[in-house]
């Protein structure tokens, strides 16, 4: 069904308000128009591009200050966090993160994203990795976007267990269970 420009733009605005993480490509598919049309509509409506929308949402949600490490030390961009519950970060694989001969991301970058997110989610001044059980499900390639989701499974006086699953699109690429030491002086 062909919509008028005004109707399409109103639906576009509503759609982005409901899901600020939707891409221009997904919007183009949804409204059966070109990506360029979506970009022009966003410009007319003063709606920023995806990366800026993510940063805006993250800054609103990061009002709860991460205590265990400075937020800029988390590998990847934290877009959502509820201390002692869950967190999400995005990591874009760039040239400096891959082996040059095959364009596959070095594993320590995926581990660092997951491990730093496991530290960040803990509501404590001190959180250190005591033990980690990890698994790489498939290689991640140059220009792929890795979304890591951390979930606190259990907490005791000195330990917190955090599960982190990382995805490229809907495909799982990494999983880990992190047993974290937390300071008893803080809580």
Domain count, the chain: 2
Same domain, 122 and 174: yes
The answer to whether residue 62 scores a pLDDT higher than 60 is no
Asked, for residue 43, whether it belongs to a domain, the answer is yes
User: Residue 41: helix, strand or coil by DSSP?
Assistant: helix
As a whole number, mean pLDDT of residues 145-172 equals 95
Q: Name the burial class of residue 181, with classes exposed (0-12), middle (13-18) and buried (19+) by CB atoms within 10 angstroms of its CB.
A: middle
Within a domain: residue 187? no
If asked whether residues 89 and 147 sit together in one domain, one would say yes
One domain, residues 79 and 170: yes
Shared domain check, 97 and 20: no
Q: What is the pLDDT of residues 14-27, one digit of tens each?
A: 998 888 778 888 89
The residue range of the domain holding 103 is 63-182
Q: Does 54 have pLDDT greater than 70?
A: no
Read off the CATH number of the domain in which 36 is found.
Answer: 1.10.10.10
Q: Are residues 132 and 176 in the same domain?
A: yes
What is residue 139's predicted lDDT score, i.e. its pLDDT? 97
149 and 93 in a single domain? The answer is: yes
Higher pLDDT, 51 or 6: 6
88 and 162 belong to one structural domain: yes
pLDDT digits (tens, 9 = 90+) for 95-141: 999 999 999 999 999 999 999 999 999 988 888 999 999 999 999 99
Residue 82 lies in a domain: yes
Query: Does some domain include residue 52?
Result: no
Distant-in-sequence contacts of 72-77, Cβ < 8 A, 24+ apart: 73/116, 74/116, 74/117, 74/119, 74/120, 75/109, 75/112, 75/113, 75/115, 75/116, 75/117, 76/113, 76/116, 76/117, 76/146, 76/148
User: Mean pLDDT over all residues of the chain?
Assistant: 87
Q: Are residues 82 and 116 in the same domain?
A: yes
């Amino acid at each position: 069904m062909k919509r008028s420009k005004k109707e399409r733009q109103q639906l576009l605005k509503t759609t982005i308000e409901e899901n600020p993480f939707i891409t221009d490509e997904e919007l183009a598919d949804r409204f059966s128009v070109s990506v360029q049309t979506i970009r022009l509509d966003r410009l007319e409506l003063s709606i920023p591009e995806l990366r800026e929308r993510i940063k805006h949402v993250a800054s609103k949600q990061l009002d709860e200050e991460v205590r265990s490490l400075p937020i800029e030390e988390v590998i990847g961009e934290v877009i959502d966090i509820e201390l002692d519950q869950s967190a999400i970060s995005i990591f874009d694989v760039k040239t400096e993160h891959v082996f040059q001969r095959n364009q596959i991301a070095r594993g320590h970058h995926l581990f660092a994203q997951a491990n730093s997110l496991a530290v960040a989610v803990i509501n404590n001044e001190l959180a250190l990795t005591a033990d980690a059980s990890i698994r790489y499900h498939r290689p991640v390639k140059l220009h792929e976007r890795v979304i890591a989701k951390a979930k606190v499974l259990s907490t005791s006086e000195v330990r917190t267990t955090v599960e982190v699953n990382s995805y490229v699109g809907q495909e799982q690429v990494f999983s880990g269970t992190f047993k974290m030491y937390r300071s008893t002086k803080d809580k």
